[in-house]
Every structure is written in C-alpha cells, then in structure tokens.
Amino acid sequence: MIESLNKVEVSRSALRNNFMLCRQHAHGVAVMALVKADGYGHGMEECARIFAECGAAAFGVAEVVEGVRLRQAGFTHPIFILAGVLPEFFDALFTYQLTPVLVDDTLIAALSQEAVGRNCEKKVHLKVDAGMGRQGSLLPEVAEIIDKVNSADGLRLEGIMAHFPMADDPVTGNSHQVLADFLQMTGTLEHNKRTHVQLHIANSGGIFFVDGSNLDMVRPGISLYGYAADGSGTLKGLTEEQLIPAMRFVSRVIQVREVPAGTGLGYGHIFTTSRTTRLAVLPVGYEDGYLRALSNRACVLIHGQRAPVVGRVSMNLTLVDITGIKGVQAGDEVVLLGRQDWESITADDIAAWMDTISYEVLCLFGHCNPIVYVD
C-alpha cells in the first residue's frame, strides 16, 4: 500500500481521556457524544466506537444522513438529529430509529401521521431558543408546542434542549441567564403539566464553565477532541488531568534546498530572503486544508523545532525556513498540528494564525486528509 504524504493521526487514548474528563466534570450524568462533522474531522465511526466503549449514552449529529451512517456502522444508541429534519427524511427516521429534534411545530402533524401509519411511537426532543438566537422555539411558544406534541398520537416528548451562545466566555457571556430562563420555563411546565422530560443544555463550554448546567444529559463536542471551548488550551480549575488534543496533522519534507539572500519565494514573492536560507519544501497546501491564510504566518515542527512558513502556501507546496535546524533531510516528518518531541502546535495556535477557532481547523484538516488511528 502506498501511503499519502500528508495524513491526520488521531489518538484513541486521547479521545478516551477526554471523554472521561468531560463525564467527570458533568458529575456523571448521561453523555451525548457529539460526532457531527465526521467527529469534528476525527472520523465519525471510530470516534463513536471509542466513546461507546467509554459509556456514551447517545450520539449527536447534525443531519439524518450522518445518523444513518452510524446505524449502518452498528451502533444501537439513541442518535439525535440536532439541526432539524424535513418530511423527506421521515422514512429514514423510522427505519433507522433516529431521534429528531423538533425546532418548531411545523412537522408535528405529519410526523404523528407517519408514526400512526407505521403503528409505532416516535420519541422526539424539542429545541428551544432560550437566548441563543439561532434555532428553536422561543420560550413563550414552548408550552403550546408541547401541548401539540402531547396530544399528537404516536409521538412522545422525551426531552427539551437549548444551546448556549457564549459558553466559551465564562466571564461576560450570558450563560447563567440562558440557563435560568430555560429552567424557569421548564420548571413551569413540569409544575403545570406534570410532564417529566429530559433536559439538556450543556455543550463543552457549559460542562467546564457553567455550574449547574449538566441537568439530565450533557452534549460535549470540542472537548472530546481535546480542546477548551474558549480557545485557551487549558481549563481553569484542572490541575493534573487535562484535555489532550487527539489530532496530529503530519507531512514529510519532500526537498531541502538553499537559496541566496534576496531571493523572492513562491507566488507573488511575498517573502524575500534577507540571508542565505535553507528551505524545506513540504508537499502540502490549501488542497489539504493548509489554507493560504497561513502564508508567512504559521510555523511547523521539524526535529522538534519550530520552522516558520515563508512565502505563499500554494495548492500542494509550502516552504518553511529551516536555516536554524540541523540535519533536515527529504523524508523527515513535519508536524503541522500536534506534538513533536517537546514542542507542540495546537489547533488554537493555527486558529489564531487563520483568524478562526479550533473547531474549524480540526474539521478542515480532518476532512481534507486520510485519517489513521494510533494508540
């Protein structure tokens, strides 16, 4: 088998460590492991397998096609479709026993009819907008929607969820208000209608930064993959145990060359050498998710040392300055993301160079490259 020069390595032991840490911080409540976006770029099926071994109670994905993939991989856990469904997916919801999260009342009648026609019951969760301002029913509408679900044959309201818009900002974010509003609304319901349903609101930021948000279930995503939601790379209040980034993105040196002072490098000559410069040519570029925005900004690791990207990142080639690093040869490992010896480059570092967040970096690298699992 011929291997690709660029690959994403995912550490199973890091995924396990992170799952355990999330569950511990959520005081042992049920964990819905978020494996949408192909497990944030780490490979959905393998991540789900590891989280299942660790005791995940359920999986969360964005859309139906992902849920079907999980079922086809053999998982029997509840699978939540978090971004909404359309009537054309009803058949799959029943065939693959997926749990839809309803975002308003528009599908209640049709879904009820489908369930009755199939002579079965469909559990549903309801997404409410308790201050996120993105998707779900507004709080004053919720009671009426719940009545509709409760009076619809074949449907059973199993849970109510909301989402935090600023759980990554424990200081000035509105999480405590969102949580209070959500609990106030659901408390009223429980009191008036005696409906007990599962309540869940906490994403990674909720678990680590918003006390009391664990409720009946938590929904970690980014922290399962080793990152703090606030981009800090560390979690306050954690001493010995830490989240461990699960992904490395590695390439190989394809050529070493030396150019004189005054050489313009690559497309547009956006970098000109000021001294005799040794360069490592890397067979990686924006095609592999190593975006052009990283030109003249990023660093990579070679022989455990940082080497700056010089000039434009192109489709399949990138140059790094290795003048200060001895003995570099074609074929040597290059770490674009992750640890090498005692140095490391995190997705938060790369996110800062790209003006984005770790989530986007992980999805990008994972989606553009072959994944191999280690540990």
Ligand X SMILES: *Cc1c(COP(=O)(O)O)cnc(C)c1O
Please indicate whether residue 36 is annotated as part of the active site.
yes
How far is 64 from 99, CA to CA, in rounded Å?
9
How far is 356 from 334, CA to CA, in rounded Å?
23
How far is 81 from 67, CA to CA, in rounded Å?
7
Does residue number 204 form part of the binding site for ligand X (CB under 6 A)? yes
Selected catalytic residue, list 96, 123, 148, 267: 267
Please indicate whether residue 290 is annotated as part of the active site.
no
Shortest distance in whole angstroms from residue 204 CB to ligand X? 3
Does residue number 103 form part of the binding site for ligand X (CB under 6 A)? no
Shortest distance in whole angstroms from residue 2 CB to ligand X? 35
How far is 194 from 76, CA to CA, in rounded Å?
30
Cα 204 to chain centroid, rounded:
10
Handedness of CA 157, 57, 35, 229 (dihedral sign): positive
Gyration radius from the chain CA atoms = 24
Shortest distance in whole angstroms from residue 216 CB to ligand X? 14
Does residue number 273 form part of the binding site for ligand X (CB under 6 A)? no
Residue closer to ligand X (CB basis): 218 or 250: 218
Stretch that binds ligand X, among 220-228, 237-245, 272-280, 331-339 (CB under 6 A): 220-228
Binds ligand X (CB under 6 A): choice among 30, 61, 157, 222: 222
Amino acid at 19: F
Instruction: Give the residue ranges of DSSP H helices in the chain.
Output: 12-25, 36-40, 44-54, 64-72, 90-95, 108-117, 139-151, 175-193, 204-209, 347-354, 358-368
| Relative orientation angle of helices 12-25 and 44-54, to the nearest 10 degrees | 50
Phi-psi region of 68 (alpha: psi -120 to 50; beta: other; left: phi over 0): alpha
Token pair recorded at residue 171? 């200081």
Shortest distance in whole angstroms from residue 31 CB to ligand X? 11
Judge whether 221 and 34 are in contact, CB under 8 Å.
yes
Selected catalytic residue, list 7, 36, 122, 127: 36
Shortest distance in whole angstroms from residue 58 CB to ligand X? 12
Residue closer to ligand X (CB basis): 84 or 266: 84
How far is 220 from 204, CA to CA, in rounded Å?
4
How far is 141 from 181, CA to CA, in rounded Å?
14
Stretch that binds ligand X, among 111-119, 149-157, 202-210, 311-319 (CB under 6 A): 202-210
Does residue number 220 form part of the binding site for ligand X (CB under 6 A)? yes
Judge whether 95 and 65 are in contact, CB under 8 Å.
no
Residue closer to ligand X (CB basis): 21 or 298: 21
Stretch that binds ligand X, among 69-77, 117-125, 143-151, 222-230 (CB under 6 A): 222-230
Q: Cβ-count burial of 123 within 10 angstroms (0-12 exposed, 13-18 middle, 19+ buried)?
A: middle
Binding mask 11-40 for ligand X (x = CB under 6 A): -----------------------x-x----
Does residue number 159 form part of the binding site for ligand X (CB under 6 A)? no
Does residue number 163 form part of the binding site for ligand X (CB under 6 A)? yes
- Residues in contact with ligand X, counted by CB under 6 A, come to a total of 13
Does residue number 219 form part of the binding site for ligand X (CB under 6 A)? yes
Residue closer to ligand X (CB basis): 199 or 250: 199
Binds ligand X (CB under 6 A): choice among 229, 246, 301, 347: 229
Token pair recorded at residue 168? 């990554």
The binding site for ligand X (CB under 6 A) comprises: 34, 36, 82, 163, 203-205, 219-223, 229
Give the active site residues. Answer: 36, 267
